[in-house]
Structure 1
Amino acid sequence: MTAGLRELKKQQTRQAISDAATRLFLERGFEKVSLTEIAAAAQVAKMTVSNYFPRKEDLAFDYHETLTASLARAVALRPVAESALAALRRECLAAIERHDPVIGFSGPGFARMIAGSPTLTARLRELHDQCEDALAQVLSADTATAPGDLTPRAAAALLAAAYRTLFRQIMELTLAGKDDQEITAIVTGSGRQVFALLEPSLADYAVRKPPS
């Protein structure tokens, strides 16, 4: 088997495990489903499930790596003359428009599953903390901040709070029975409002400079 085929097989196996887990979680709730049952549903060994997903919570948040890197990536890839604030506002509004799970779009069943599970709620907070940490690291490196200067950490906390606020509103609107189009209309306005609140302090922070 070639390297390409092996990689495709791994991706297919990972997706099959994720799909089986999601189906069982939605049917019965996260806490009531075991790894053994997930393995049986995906027709793989229990060890295979653990190899692909070391934490059971990440079977529910199978996009966790994308989530934790999302804000840092948006800032790292911003164009010249754009601030960190402008980059994140642009990316968050685009994520809302495309109904991206990274900003909180998940569907009512998935939203109920998270809200009903203390384990998943705690894991989501942890993922958002990791997202903030990654953003702080990018801001620190990009602005050549001196050791001990808390500016990147403070800026990351404020910017990540805006993102968390929008994520939470999307989840709440989903649980309230709003459809994606209604949620988009509401949260787009919220996004503009939330980022406008940060303009006075962060509009000129971490503006990308042209290469020297």
Structure 2
Amino acid sequence: MGLREIKKAKTRKLISDIARDLFIERGYEAVTIVEIAEKAEVAVTTLFNYFPTKESLIFDLEDEIDTDILEAIRSRKKGQSILDALHGYFLSSKLFNPPNKKTFSGFGKLIRSSTELSSYLRGLWGRYENTLAKEIQDDSGVNKLEAECLAKLLLEGVSYACNSTSPKETLNLTFKILKNGWNK
């Protein structure tokens, strides 16, 4: 990565971190784009060059997660199942190992407190489901409906685990049920 790309990445992260902290501190609706731009020392137009919407400010890792999910499948060990590869990816991801647990907890509360952010997140997960379903279908040869069903169940389970009181335990149970089925 060149110097210009490094500077852009730092600016993007700075803007997102400032927005996240302000949103957590005062609430999503109470913070303006102008305020975020001023605190980040960038023009509003510059902010919108990095983030097309106010909601996207808080989800700065959205493209990274989408790419990482696909990479987990594509780079899995020979003989490893797609479910095992995705289980390993999510178990080691920032979703289940946040660098700052207090900030991550505040982030979760923020999302749940805002209908706009909750809706935006649902849209993101929908995009992840589509991308994951296509990759599952292409990689395994299952039909489209089966791939879509698996992607939906898998990501709903991950989402549920993220919001659980025992995230890793719930994630492990989710993958156990998906892998072994539930026949009670």
TM range (shorter): 0.7 to 0.9
Q: How many corresponding residue pairs?
A: 181
Kindly report which structure 2 residues correspond to 1:1-212, keeping only aligned pairs within 5 A, or say none: 4-95=2-93, 99-100=97-98, 106-145=103-142, 149-169=144-164, 173=165, 186-201=166-181
**Deviating more after overlay: 11-20 vs 105-114:** 105-114
How far apart, in 2, do the equivalents of 1:61 and 1:107 lie?
A: 12
Contact 1:57 1:120 in 2 (8 A): yes
Over 3 Å counting, the alpha-carbon distance change for 1:141 and 1:64 in structure 2 is same
The alpha carbon displacement at 1:120 in A equals 0.7
1:110 positional shift: 2.0
Kept after mapping to 2: 8 A contact 1:71/1:135: yes
What amino acid is the match of 2:157?
Answer: A
- Which position in structure 2 is the counterpart of 1:177? none
Q: TM-score, normalised by structure 2?
A: 0.85
In the TM superposition, what is the alpha-carbon distance from 1:49 to its structure 2 partner? 0.4
TM-score by length of 1: 0.75
Structure possessing the higher radius of gyration over alpha carbons: 1
Given that residues 132 and 151 in structure 2 are in contact (C-alpha distance below 8 angstroms), is that contact kept between their aligned partners in structure 1? yes
Q: Distance in 2 between matches of 1:6 and 1:193?
A: 44
Letter paired with 2:2 = G
Deviations 1:157-203 (A, max 9, x none): 2222221221221xxx4xxxxxxxxxxxx3332222221212235xx
Give every structure 1 segment of 4 or more consecutive aligned residues whose post-TM-superposition deviation is greater than 3 Å.
Answer: none
Letter of the structure 2 residue corresponding to residue 152 of structure 1? A
* 1:36-62 superposed Cα distances (whole Å, 9 cap, x missing partner): 111111111110000000121111111
Aligned counterparts of 2:6 and 2:140: Cα–Cα separation in 1: 39
The CA distance in 1 between the partners of 2:148 and 2:160, in whole Å, is 18
| Secondary structure at the counterpart of residue 30 of structure 1 | coil
% identical aligned pairs:
34
Amino acid at match of 2:18: A
Structure 2 SS opposite 1:107: helix
Contact 1:114–1:120 (8 Å) recurs in 2: yes
User: In structure 2, how many angstroms separate the alpha carbons of the residues matched to 1:151 and 1:143?
Assistant: 11
Gaps of 5+ in 2: none
- C-alpha change, 1:135 and 1:33, in structure 2 (3 Å) is same
